[in-house]
Amino acid sequence: MNLDSQEVSPTNKLIVALTGYADGGGVVTYSVSYLSKWLCMKTMRTLSAEGFVDYALNRPKTVIAEGVVKKISPLLYSFKTSNKGDTLLLTGPEPNVKWRTFIKMTLKFAKKLSCKLLCTLGGFIDNVSEPKVSYVVADESLKDLVQDLNPITYEGPSSIYTLLLRRAKRYGINAVSLWVHIPYVVHTLLPQLGGVDYWSGYLLLRALGSLMKLDLDLGEADELHKKFKKKLEVYRYALSQGSLSDLLSGPSKYIF
């Protein structure tokens, strides 16, 4: 699909939430679901992921019933808009190839919609005792937007978000990347805790809402995160008694 050929209404905020390395603790998938629900977001455009993803790494979903193929769903990128029309959400898998093409397409579309602020969402596993939200910005002038958060210091392999931040400046778009640090112990216990880190997800949504001034009701997210923390305390107690110590090894690394 040629996004440039589509007639669109102006917006001023773009949230980029890509799954893959950035989806530590399931926080990106959770955030997309929460934003879609509470901002009453509707899909305005979709784009085939063909040519951007390696299907050996990102498999299409299928439904097979009693040996018969009932459905196979190709991977898509979706552009969703809020009920007020002021916020755009881009979702889908992090591209495996053609990063520059994908970024150019995204930023040209964002500029066409008059987007002034772009924010990416991510989560990574870290050796911390409690989750916290940190930021990356394209240049020093944008630090005022995130002065209540922690800056990230990092050197190593990059995610697509970092290149997106650098390129956004060329299009006159202020870009910020929000990352929530997932405690390694929480990551290890996620299968027992339900598979989603609602604590980290809540903190990420709260930081996003503050940064982008979203009219977002976080009541449900707060309730889920409190229930998650109570359940986590039970498992932490079991760990302190040594009954779950065999689950732990060394901290893993996620890529920025």
* pLDDT tens for each residue of 159-171: 999 999 999 989 9
Question: Which parts of 126-218 fold into alpha helices (H)?
Answer: 160-168, 184-193, 198-212
pLDDT beyond 80 at 80: yes
Determine the pLDDT at residue 242.
66
pLDDT beyond 90 at 139: no
DSSP string, 44-57: EEEEE-TTTS-TTT
CA atoms within 13 A on the CB side of 82: 20
Place of tokens 């650098």: 166
**Over residues 193-215, mean pLDDT:** 96
φ and ψ at residue 9, rounded to 5 degrees: -100, 145
pLDDT beyond 80 at 150: yes
Put residue 92 in one of left, alpha, beta given phi > 0 → left and psi -120 to 50 → alpha.
left
Determine the pLDDT at residue 147.
86
pLDDT beyond 90 at 37: yes
Distance CA 81, CA 89 (A): 6
Domains of the chain with bracketed CATH = 15-247 (3.40.50.10900)
Determine the pLDDT at residue 2.
53
φ and ψ at residue 170, rounded to 5 degrees: -65, -25
**Over residues 178-198, mean pLDDT:** 93
Instruction: Walk across the sheet containing 76-81 and list its strands.
Output: 42-48, 76-81, 87-93, 13-19, 117-126, 174-183, 132-137, 150-151
Determine the pLDDT at residue 1.
46
Question: At 243, is the pLDDT very low, low, confident or very high (cuts 50, 70, 90)?
Answer: low
pLDDT beyond 60 at 246: no
**Angle at CA 19, nearest 5°, toward 13 and 22?**
85
**Over residues 3-13, mean pLDDT:** 63
Question: At 254, is the pLDDT very low, low, confident or very high (cuts 50, 70, 90)?
Answer: very low
The tokens of 7 are what? Answer: 């007639």
What is the tens place of the pLDDT at every residue in 56-69? Answer: 888 889 999 999 99
Average pLDDT, the chain: 89
Question: At 4, is the pLDDT very low, low, confident or very high (cuts 50, 70, 90)?
Answer: low
Question: At 138, is the pLDDT very low, low, confident or very high (cuts 50, 70, 90)?
Answer: confident
Whether residue 137 contacts residue 165, with contact meaning beta carbons closer than 8 Å, is answered with: yes
Question: What's the Cα-to-Cα distance from 7 to each of 2, 70, 200, rounded to whole Å?
Answer: 11, 35, 37
> What dihedral angle (degrees, nearest 10) is formed by the CA atoms of 157, 160, 84, 226?
-30
